[in-house]
Amino acid sequence: MSDALLAITLVWGFIFLYAIMASMDFGAGFWAMTYIKKEETNATKIANSYLSPTWEVTNTFVVGLVIAIYSLFPGAVFTIGVALIVPASLILVLLCIRSAFLVFSHSVEKYEKALTYISGLTGLIIPGLLISVLPITHLGFVEGMRGNEELNLFKLFTSPNEYAFMGFGILSTLFLSSLLLSDYSKQADEMKAYKIYRRDAMITGPLMLVMAMMVMITLKSEANWLYEGMMKNSALLLVSLVFFIISGVALYLPYFSKREVKGMPRIAVIAIIIQYLVGSYVYGIAHLPYIIYPNVTILSGFTDPTSFRAVFATYIVGFAILVPGFYYFWSIFMKDQRRKFKRRQMTN
Amino acid sequence: MDHIQMARAMFGTNMAVHIIFATIGVGLPMMMLAAELMYQRTKDLQYVVMAKRWTKTLGVLLGVGIPTGTIAGVQLSLLWPGFMEVIGRVMALPFQIEIYAFMIEALFMSIYVYAAEKIKPWARVVSLFFVAFGAMASAVLISNVHAFEGTPAGFRFENGEIVDVDPWAAFFNPSFLVTAGHTALTAYTTGAFVVAAVAAYKMLRNKFGTTEFNFHQKALKLSIVLGLVFSFLTALNGHATTQHLYREQPEKLAAAEGLFETKDHAGLTLFGYTDREAQEVKYGIEFPWVLSFLSGNSFDTVVTGLNDFPEEYWPPLYVHILFNAMVIIGSGLIALALFALVWNKWLKKDTYPRWVLWLFVAAGPLSVISIECGWIFACTGRQPWTIYRMLSTADSVTSYENLGFLFTMFILVYIILCVSVVFTLLYYFKRHSVMDDIYIAEQKDERLFDSNS
């Protein structure tokens, strides 16, 4: 594998990780808002307790991702920077307000309601904007010569593909997060919340699949090169569909314990993550060699080989130190949350 | 405003907001660590309460610090893609490592906050040490990029292409240590004086001898000692920084001092403003020969004036005022802390006069103003370059020109954040008084810390 390919794989890995983490984060915000009036179900509480510890890491991950792109593909920075200035600025503003109020609401009780609405609404808008980055990179709307490029916003917002992606992004966020929250509430023995989130997953899942089909149909007419590329791996696309079906089955399956509750959300979560992994791999491999079609390729954007080696070494060292640390903390935290929930239930 | 100025204003506004929270975010963990160590020495529970309240404050401040930092990190590539292209190729390491430093800080902060009662006091000190270390390391690494902009190393341009890249040579560029050291030391100084300001204000509001008064006096004493140490070290480091400027960015030094003619026995001018037409500093107080001595340790040192550089290379001349403000405030802080220490230790007074307390109240905001002046001086003083003599600001900026709308949007967000962070702090601490916290600390079975991340 060439260095550039290795580097873009790393970037893809980061984007995938971020997409999963952020979907859960943003989706949880939306669900917390949706169920704010249904206090007896604890659905909002579950979503909020999930939200609070993750934002710092998710926020830092945004920066980490941006840094990964410009340190591995500096030649792409100018075009990417110009193309994304409007959508990325909007994302930043919304993200900033969201994170800040998340923190403030821990100290000021009366912010809690405002936070729920802020994080709920931004939980829908931000994923829609984030996913727009993909059509921007493949639709070829970044026009002009190097140094004077500009994103044609009119073309972008009249493109059906852009809207198909937005719908896909938003529904994926809702689907992934409701799945995760159903698993999470089952772990915490919150059966009312579990039932709600399981139902939500059952609704958003098929809708997400419909949007994925829309994405493919619009791709065929608007970015045929990408569509053709993806179809070369149609077998893998089928595999991803199979994992979607597995997760559906896992949700409907009767639960083997004595409880009255159906479904095995844990299996569904894992199957869906695999589905996305496979799907995004097919998209990514078809997208190569372009970073931004047709302006920048991974080779034209790639960094200096000496820099690459140094940067790559820091990744290895950094991850070797951090991954065990975070795993340890995460396990403490999850246990702590569950304990808290149980304690709260007992006092109720 | 043309679009370069707009982009500079936009990024500058972000930095101006971020730097307040980033600086205190480095300074406060050091104070928390000091308080925990004081507890180890004295076994006085009030120090634990102090650390707890500062932790809470830090938690709230991070609510602005992290999002504005996220904006800074992303906006760099959005507004300055030409600059980040070079940075990505040559100077990516500090950004990379900074992410890890930040993660270490966040990780140990969570351990400190979540597990404070479950772990042993020494483990608490260890986790705080890593919090402080992570915060300081982030600041040092990011300042290193700034150092590189002033004294680039590890690459050269050949026919517009970047060649001979050596990322570690870029990392250890000539002014790395002085610049990064300056950031760290001034952050500690600011942390100490911001704490001192709050403590002094609370002492003025409480009766002498009450528990609350004593609590705040302990905080004030602690911050006076640390403030003195770090402001003094800042002065020493500032001297070294000036000598670096003299050698590596002489036009920046000349602009800072308003020096037009190259000469030996050059004087140092305090106050006043630089008059471009008259080629001198008006209404200033000149200390003859001092500048030469400060620049090269001898009065014979020849200091290059602005006239020896083409005028398009001149930094804006108002940097003289910024440089002065920074130096004067810094010196004032040393004097104030020294006076208070002598008053307390050698004159054995059991408290401070009210006017000294009021000076401390002023010292907190002033130290932040000094930080702002220093950063604006450091960055505008490098104009017209983003990378000194290598890459101009005009070549760095985005080609997107309609920045006005985005700028307005960001300003609104910063206003909302700054207002609500003040409101949040006031609201929280009004409802959680020192007395409550001390009471809770004494009832050992209650949880002293609760989640605030």
The answer, yes or no, to whether residue B403 has pLDDT greater than 50, is: yes
B414: confidence class by pLDDT, cuts 50, 70, 90 = very high
- Across the interface, whether the CB atoms of A77 and B77 are under 8 A apart is answered yes
Q: Could you tell me if residue B279 is inside a domain?
A: no
- Across the interface, whether the CB atoms of A303 and B88 are under 8 A apart is answered yes
Q: Is A99 helix (H, G, I), strand (E, B) or coil?
A: helix
Chain A residues with CB inside 8 Å of B97's CB? Answer: 314, 318
CB contacts under 8 A, B 107-126 vs A, are 107, 110-111, 114-115
CA distance B335 to B353: 16
CA distance B387 to B432: 48
Q: Which residues pair with B282 in a beta bridge?
A: B273
CA distance B153 to B166: 8
The answer, yes or no, to whether residue B181 has pLDDT greater than 60, is: yes
| Among A129-143, A228-242, B432-446, the least confident range | B432-446
CA distance A180 to A51: 12
Chain A residues with CB inside 8 Å of B400's CB? Answer: 82, 85-86, 150
Average pLDDT over residues A140-161: 84
Please tell me the distance in Å from A67's CA to the nearest CA on chain B.
Answer: 7
Asked if B418 reaches chain A (Cβ–Cβ under 8 Å), the answer is no
Output DSSP code: residue A310. H
Q: Which residues pair with B212 in a beta bridge?
A: none
Asked if B443 reaches chain A (Cβ–Cβ under 8 Å), the answer is no
| Among B13-17, B80-84, B263-267, the least confident range | B263-267
The answer, yes or no, to whether residue A303 has pLDDT greater than 60, is: yes
The answer, yes or no, to whether residue A348 has pLDDT greater than 60, is: no
Quote the pLDDT of residue B19. 95
Nearest residue on chain A to B85, alpha-carbon basis: A74
Q: Could you tell me if residue B282 is inside a domain?
A: no
CA distance A19 to A25: 10
Quote the pLDDT of residue B114. 67
pTM: 0.89
The answer, yes or no, to whether residue A327 has pLDDT greater than 80, is: no
* Cβ-contact A3, A302 below 8 angstroms: yes
Name the token pair of B19: 């730097």
CA-closest candidate to residue A326, choices B92, B102, B93, B62: B102
Give, for B270, the enclosing helix (H) or strand (E).
Answer: strand B268-270
Structural domains of chain A, ranges and CATH numbers in brackets: 3-303 (1.20.1630)
The answer, yes or no, to whether residue A319 has pLDDT greater than 90, is: no
Q: Could you tell me if residue B135 is inside a domain?
A: yes
pLDDT single digits (tens) B90-118: 998 999 898 888 888 888 887 787 666 66
CA distance A86 to A154: 13
CA distance B253 to B319: 10
CA distance B139 to B182: 10
* Cβ-contact B252, B381 below 8 angstroms: yes
Name the token pair of A298: 């991974």
The answer, yes or no, to whether residue B320 has pLDDT greater than 60, is: yes
pLDDT single digits (tens) B214-236: 899 999 999 999 999 999 999 99
Name the token pair of A249: 């089955």
CA distances from A31 to A51, B252, B445 (A): 11, 54, 36
Q: Could you tell me if residue B451 is inside a domain?
A: no
> How many residues belong to chain B?
453
The answer, yes or no, to whether residue B449 has pLDDT greater than 60, is: no
Quote the pLDDT of residue B446. 43
Phi, psi of A291 (to 5 degrees): -90, -50
CA-closest candidate to residue B260, choices B286, B278, B273: B278
Please tell me the distance in Å from A260's CA to the nearest CA on chain B.
Answer: 34
Q: Is B390 helix (H, G, I), strand (E, B) or coil?
A: coil
Helices (H) and strands (E) in chain B, counts: 15, 8
Classify each residue of A176-186 as buried b or exposed e, where b means 16 or more C-beta atoms within 10 Å of its C-beta. bbbbbbbbbbb
- Across the interface, whether the CB atoms of B70 and A311 are under 8 A apart is answered no
B330: confidence class by pLDDT, cuts 50, 70, 90 = very high
Domains contained in chain B, number: 1
Quote the pLDDT of residue A168. 94
Please tell me the distance in Å from A308's CA to the nearest CA on chain B.
Answer: 8
Domain that holds residue B252: 3-262+304-442
- Mean predicted lDDT score pLDDT of chain B: 87
The answer, yes or no, to whether residue B447 has pLDDT greater than 60, is: no
Q: Which residues pair with B42 in a beta bridge?
A: none
With residues binned 3-state (H G I as helix, E B as strand, rest as coil), the percentages for chain A, rounded to 5, are 85, 5, 15
Tell me what percent of the residues of chain A surpass a pLDDT of 70: 89
Average pLDDT over residues A262-285: 88
ipTM: 0.84
- Across the interface, whether the CB atoms of A318 and B84 are under 8 A apart is answered no
pLDDT single digits (tens) B142-171: 999 999 999 999 888 888 888 888 889 999
CA distance A230 to A234: 7
The answer, yes or no, to whether residue B401 has pLDDT greater than 90, is: no
pLDDT single digits (tens) A37-49: 777 677 777 777 6
Q: Look at the block and give the residue holding tokens 């809470």.
A: B56
- Mean predicted lDDT score pLDDT of chain A: 84
Phi, psi of B286 (to 5 degrees): -95, 135
pLDDT single digits (tens) A213-242: 999 999 898 888 989 989 998 899 999 999
- Cα B384–B387–B391 angle (5° rounding)? 70
CA-closest candidate to residue A80, choices B4, B74, B89, B142: B74
The answer, yes or no, to whether residue B292 has pLDDT greater than 90, is: no
Q: Could you tell me if residue B318 is inside a domain?
A: yes
Quote the pLDDT of residue B450. 47
Tell me if the bond preceding A289 is cis, omega within 30° of 0: yes
Integer-rounded Cα Rg, in Å, for chain B is 23
Quote the pLDDT of residue A344. 61
- Cα A71–A77–A78 angle (5° rounding)? 150
Question: Which stretch, A32-41, B312-321, B388-397, B410-419, has highest mean pLDDT?
Answer: B410-419
Question: Which stretch, A34-48, A137-151, A194-208, B261-275, has highest mean pLDDT?
Answer: A194-208
Classify each residue of B253-266 as buried b or exposed e, where b means 16 or more C-beta atoms within 10 Å of its C-beta. bbbbbbbbeeeebb
CA distance B436 to B49: 10
Q: How many C-alpha atoms does B427 have within 13 Å on its Cβ side?
A: 15
CA-closest candidate to residue B250, choices B148, B147, B151, B371: B151
Average pLDDT over residues A280-309: 88
Quote the pLDDT of residue A294. 84
| Among A217-226, A253-262, B42-51, B294-303, the least confident range | A253-262
The answer, yes or no, to whether residue B415 has pLDDT greater than 50, is: yes
- Across the interface, whether the CB atoms of A96 and B70 are under 8 A apart is answered yes
pLDDT single digits (tens) B357-391: 999 999 999 999 999 999 999 999 898 899 988 88
Nearest residue on chain B to A89, alpha-carbon basis: B406
Asked if B92 reaches chain A (Cβ–Cβ under 8 Å), the answer is yes
Chain B residues with CB inside 8 Å of A306's CB? Answer: 165-167
- Across the interface, whether the CB atoms of A77 and B67 are under 8 A apart is answered no
- Across the interface, whether the CB atoms of A333 and B110 are under 8 A apart is answered yes
The answer, yes or no, to whether residue A92 has pLDDT greater than 70, is: yes
* Cβ-contact A118, A93 below 8 angstroms: no
The answer, yes or no, to whether residue B128 has pLDDT greater than 60, is: yes
Asked if B399 reaches chain A (Cβ–Cβ under 8 Å), the answer is yes
CA distances from B116 to A163, A333, B112 (A): 48, 13, 5
The residue ranking higher by pLDDT, B200 or B433, is B200
The secondary structure of B95-110, three-state, reads: HHHHHHHHHHHHHHHH
Classify each residue of A208-245 as buried b or exposed e, where b means 16 or more C-beta atoms within 10 Å of its C-beta. bbebbebbbebbeebbeebbebbeebeeebebbeebbe
Average pLDDT over residues B47-75: 89
CA distance B331 to B339: 12
* Cβ-contact A175, A201 below 8 angstroms: yes
Q: Could you tell me if residue B452 is inside a domain?
A: no
CA distance A225 to B296: 64
- Across the interface, whether the CB atoms of B92 and A70 are under 8 A apart is answered yes
Is the Cα dihedral B163, B169, B172, B173 positive or negative?
A: negative
Q: Could you tell me if residue B293 is inside a domain?
A: no
Q: Look at the block and give the residue holding tokens 């916290």.
A: B437
Q: Where are the beta strands (DSSP E) in chain A?
A: 142-143, 150-151, 290-292, 296-297
| Among A120-129, B184-193, B339-348, the least confident range | B339-348
- Across the interface, whether the CB atoms of B398 and A75 are under 8 A apart is answered no
Quote the pLDDT of residue A28. 86
CA distances from A282 to A13, A18, B64, B103 (A): 13, 18, 39, 31
Average pLDDT over residues B129-146: 93
Q: Could you tell me if residue B201 is inside a domain?
A: yes
The H-assigned helical ranges of B206-265 are 211-248, 250-257
Quote the pLDDT of residue A320. 85
The answer, yes or no, to whether residue B183 has pLDDT greater than 50, is: yes
Quote the pLDDT of residue A340. 63
The answer, yes or no, to whether residue A18 has pLDDT greater than 80, is: yes
The answer, yes or no, to whether residue B121 has pLDDT greater than 80, is: no
Please tell me the distance in Å from A247's CA to the nearest CA on chain B.
Answer: 33
